[in-house]
């Protein structure tokens, strides 16, 4: 017993020593990317109607609040709020935080003040005849989000127009001890009938809002700047992300600006993301400072969809480890089918190593969904994205050339072919001799702590190919492969003892066909940290 105690004590001292060598405020975690377990949580699903625009807030007492827009039950859109007392695992019934029997309330976003009060900024649109009245207002809760009332003198802005123009998308934050709000304005007073839009900021003086200061001059840039989200970075400066329409060939891209003090935003417009294909869009950005000091941004894009528009967009995240100077590690937390979306997303840092991504999706039905990212790789959970191909496409996977959909085929409910055990509705097959007569589907998983991992998948094949194998590579060691089994029976195949030493791994499947009748099927792919 004495030796055991001494051993444990020495281990604890070693851990403390290593932790002390780390920069202040940074966790002992992988510095590249983020590991996203496959499982997600449905925070809210309406009985009817839709839900949009989720926004998260972690309270001082540890509870979480989630606001969202909904027209559940018909009628006007309201901003609703639900609560979790167990870190997002379960959620309460909703309460109405902002509503208007004569208008539609939406774009809710919350902040908690030092005195414990919670503010919720939102927009209210009232149409009377041919006139649109748009307002940005604030509701306040003094009981932790259970009940809400109007903040005295809390109206941020108001505009009147003869078309659907006005003020939109308020986002509250703190500059030191000062409450500030940013918002978009495309009213005739600002943009005329150009369709362009500016971004503005106001600060709270204790009894009302200041006059507006210009944050981004979209009108002068020939851009519809919108959906501003901002936060303070690790170096004390502030970053603003927004969607913009000033990139030729793209409806919207993601821009950002940086301010030294949070007040002066005269710095240059910089580019965070342009979609991978012309004609596609990236919009509705969000940004947070992670617990380890890095930044994570999110946005929605239709770049991988055969269709175009917000109705076919889904969320992406990217990470910056240098206070916004560079961005990388793009990830799709919510792969969707070709006819659905995962939009109007948000992020929240949970603690020093975890982040939660929220989206409003109609895949497979209308709901608010949460997925958790980890800077410290969890054990014994699947980290493969879109692991069962239940989106009936290869979203979340990498393919090359015209492999998909010519030689990477979707099977399952669409053609009645049997799926793998516990495999859901769809799987993919590698088959065909068009073009190079080869096919590859894979994904690179980043944010991995060094250690031992396992890859496994359900496979089967016709045999006879020039090559057909499952592989893991780019993990710091030599590539490992195992051939597809030649059988019509789904068979689980594994590669074990994979020692990751560089923070990432690429898993994939390859086939080189010599005859049109050859096939190799894949389902239920897993990548698991085992030791």
Where is pLDDT greater, at 26 or 74?
Answer: 74
Instruction: Say what the pLDDT of residue 184 is.
Output: 99
Q: What is the pLDDT of residues 241-267, one digit of tens each?
A: 999 999 999 999 999 999 999 999 999
Radius of gyration of the chain (CA): 25
The pLDDT of residue 415: 94
Rounded CA-CA distance 82/350 in Å is 17
User: CA-CA distance, 91 to 489, in Å (whole number)?
Assistant: 41
Residues 318 and 32 sit within 8 Å (Cβ to Cβ): no
User: What integer is the mean pLDDT of 73-84?
Assistant: 97
Q: Which residues of 301-323 are buried (b: 16+ CB within 10 A; e: fewer)?
A: bbbbbeeeebebbbbbbbbbbeb
Token couple for 172:
């509250």
Q: What is the dihedral of CA 204, 206, 209, 214, to 10 degrees?
A: -30
List, edge to edge, every strand of the sheet that includes 328-331: 282-289, 295-301, 314-320, 328-331
Can you tell me the distance from the alpha carbon of 49 to that of 75, in angstroms, rounded to the nearest whole number? Answer: 10
Q: First vs last Cα of the chain: how many Å apart?
A: 26
At 8 the three-state DSSP class reads helix
pLDDT classification of 78: cutoffs 50, 70, 90: very high
Which residue reads 């007492």 in tokens? 61
Q: Give me the pLDDT at residue 26, please.
A: 29
Output the six-digit token pair for 405. 């959909």
Percent of the chain with pLDDT over 90: 93
Rounded mean pLDDT, 221-238? 99
Three-class SS state of 14: helix
Residue 9 pLDDT exceeds 80: no
Q: In what order do the strands lie in the sheet with 504-512?
A: 398-399, 438-446, 504-512, 467-473, 480-483
Tokens of 379: 């054990």
Residue 244 pLDDT: 99
Indicate the pLDDT class of residue 21, thresholds 50, 70 and 90.
Answer: very low
Residue in the block written with tokens 């509870």: 63
CA distances (Å), 420 to each of 384, 406, 423, 426, 460, in order? 17, 22, 5, 9, 10
What contacts 342, CB < 8 A, 6 or more positions away?
300, 313, 314, 315, 333, 334, 336, 359, 360, 361, 363, 369
- pLDDT tier at 7, thresholds 50, 70, 90: very low
Mean pLDDT in residue range 437-452: 98
Cis peptide before 364 (omega within 30 of 0): yes
Predicted local distance difference test score (pLDDT) of residue 418? 86
Query: Percentage helix, strand, coil, to 5, in the chain?
Result: 5, 50, 45
pLDDT given for residue 32 in this prediction: 79
pLDDT given for residue 450 in this prediction = 96
Instruction: State residue 371's pLDDT score.
Output: 99
Q: Domain segments of the chain: what residues?
A: 40-53+125-133+166-374, 398-529
pLDDT at 422: 82
Look at residue 387 in the predicted model and tell me its pLDDT.
98
- DSSP character string of 283-320: EEEEEEE-TTS-EEEEEEE-TTSSS-SGGG-EEEEEEE
H or E stretch covering 3 = helix 2-20
CB 89 within 8 A of CB 63: no
Select from 109, 168, 164 the least CA-distant residue to 135. Answer: 168
Q: What does the DSSP 8-state code read for residue 260?
A: S
Q: 72-81, 200-209, 420-429, 456-465: which range is least confident on average?
A: 420-429
For residue 12, what pLDDT is reported?
36
Domain 40-53+125-133+166-374: which CATH class? mainly beta
CA distance linking residue 76 with residue 496, whole number of Å: 55
Alpha helices in 197-290 (DSSP H): 218-221
* Position 414 pLDDT exceeds 80: yes
User: What 3-state DSSP class applies to 4?
Assistant: helix
Structure confidence at residue 531 (pLDDT): 85
β-pair partners for 136: 123, 157
* Confidence band, pLDDT 50/70/90 cuts, at residue 24: very low
**How confident is the model at residue 13, as a pLDDT?**
35
242 touches 183 (CB < 8 A): no
Strands 295-301 and 282-289: antiparallel
pLDDT of 100 over the 60 cut: yes
Q: Which pLDDT tens digit goes with each residue over 171-183?
A: 999 999 999 999 9
Coil, helix or strand for 188?
helix
Q: Are 52 and 69 in contact (CB under 8 A)?
A: yes
3-state secondary structure of 329: strand
Of 245, 325, 339, 324, give the one whose Cα is nearest residue 283.
Answer: 245
Q: Which residue has the tokens 């009938």?
A: 193
Burial 386-407 (b: 16+ CB within 10 A, else e): bbbbbbbbbbbbebeeebbeeb
Fold of domain 398-529: Jelly Rolls (2.60.120)
- For the residues 394-416, what does the mean pLDDT come to? 96
What are the DSSP E strand ranges found in 152-289?
157-161, 167-175, 178-185, 198-203, 213-216, 226-232, 238-244, 253-259, 270-273, 282-289
CA distance 118 to 205: 17
The per-residue pLDDT for range 280-323, each reduced to its tens digit, is 999 999 999 999 999 999 999 999 999 999 999 999 999 999 99
- 11: pLDDT strictly greater than 80: no
């Amino acid at each position: 017993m004495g030796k055991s105690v001494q051993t444990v004590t020495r281990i604890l001292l070693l851990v403390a020593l290593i932790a002390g060598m780390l920069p202040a405020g940074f966790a002992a975690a992988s510095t590249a990317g983020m590991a996203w377990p496959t499982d997600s949580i449905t925070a809210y699903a309406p009985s009817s109607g839709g839900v949009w625009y989720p926004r998260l807030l972690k309270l001082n007492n540890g509870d979480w609040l989630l606001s969202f827009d909904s027209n559940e039950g018909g009628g006007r859109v309201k901003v609703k709020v639900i609560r979790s007392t167990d870190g997002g695992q379960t959620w309460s019934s909703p309460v109405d935080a902002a509503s208007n029997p004569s208008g539609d309330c939406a774009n809710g976003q919350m902040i908690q003040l030092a005195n414990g009060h919670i503010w919720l900024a939102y927009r209210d649109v009232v149409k009377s005849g041919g006139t649109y009245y748009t307002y940005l207002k604030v509701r306040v809760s003094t009981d932790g989000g259970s009940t809400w009332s109007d903040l005295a003198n809390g109206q941020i802005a108001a505009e009147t127009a003869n078309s659907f123009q006005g003020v939109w998308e308020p986002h509250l934050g703190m500059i030191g001890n000062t409450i500030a709000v940013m918002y978009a304005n495309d009213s005739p007073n600002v943009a005329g009938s150009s369709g362009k839009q500016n971004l503005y900021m106001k600060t709270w003086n204790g009894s009302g809002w200041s006059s507006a200061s210009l944050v981004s001059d979209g009108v002068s840039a020939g851009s519809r700047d919108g959906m501003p989200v901002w936060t303070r970075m690790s170096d004390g400066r502030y970053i603003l992300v927004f969607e913009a329409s000033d990139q030729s060939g793209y409806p919207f891209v993601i821009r950002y600006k940086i301010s030294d003090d949070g007040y002066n935003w005269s710095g240059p417009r910089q580019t965070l993301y342009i979609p991978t294909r012309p004609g596609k869009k990236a919009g509705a950005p969000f940004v947070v400072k992670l617990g380890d000091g890095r930044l994570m941004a999110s946005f929605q894009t239709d770049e991988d969809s055969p269709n175009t528009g917000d109705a076919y967009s889904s969320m992406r995240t990217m990470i910056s480890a240098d206070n916004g100077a560079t961005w990388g590690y793009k990830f799709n937390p919510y792969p969707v089918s070709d006819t659905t979306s995962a939009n109007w997303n948000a992020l929240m840092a949970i603690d020093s190593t975890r982040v939660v991504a929220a989206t409003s999706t109609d895949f497979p039905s209308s709901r608010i969904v949460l997925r958790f990212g980890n800077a410290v790789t969890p054990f014994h959970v699947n980290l493969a994205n879109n692991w069962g191909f239940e989106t009936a496409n290869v979203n979340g996977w990498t393919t090359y050339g015209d492999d998909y959909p010519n030689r990477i085929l979707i099977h399952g409910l669409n053609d009645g072919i049997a799926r793998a055990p516990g495999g859901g509705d769809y799987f993919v097959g590698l088959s065909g001799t068009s073009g190079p007569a080869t096919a590859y589907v894979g994904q690179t998983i980043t944010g991995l702590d060094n250690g031992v991992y396992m890859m496994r998948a359900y496979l089967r094949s016709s045999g006879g190919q020039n090559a057909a194998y499952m592989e893991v590579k780019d993990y710091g060691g030599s590539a490992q492969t195992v051939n597809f089994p030649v059988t019509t029976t789904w068979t689980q195949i594994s590669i074990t003892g994979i020692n990751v030493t560089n923070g990432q791994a690429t898993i994939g499947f390859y086939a080189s066909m010599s005859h049109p009748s050859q096939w190799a099927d894949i389902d239920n792919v897993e990548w698991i940290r085992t030791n």
